[in-house]
Structure 1
């Protein structure tokens, strides 16, 4: 069992969520806010941290904080889209009007 420290922090100055692993910046999820939604436009995990499940932790942390901030989500980037598509509890955060346009389940 690993004892690493994993933290997702919102960096409002740069309009992104940042993933830190043991204090090192491991990835980012960039967003753009509208009045009611937060559009995720680009997500990446840096090469040395790929393939270790950090992408899921980054997206989940970003979406949880977005929900807590009172925003709906627009999963425009492929990583966030895939995450939302396979998790009904996060799909509920996507406004109904955008689901068909984004190729997401309607319910």
Structure 2
């Protein structure tokens, strides 16, 4: 997995094997969470068309929907890649990227 773009305090865009992932940092109460999801084809097309502004908006919508909060009805909740091999590879790619940046 490789880092394509990094909005350090908000999101990281990654890619692997033709798939694009967005890792979003969000906070609710006193707890910070990372939320990784694979972008759908329509979301990739919007990112390519609108650039980082689209990812800022998507990250905001994810944050506002609170997919990591117990009882959340977020439309993104079912797309979570928490506790998956993708999450592990994304975390490693981000650590490596930021250590050399």
TM-score with structure 1 setting the length: 0.35
Higher relative CO (CA 8 A, sep ≥ 6), structure 1 or 2? 2
Structure number with greater Rg is 1
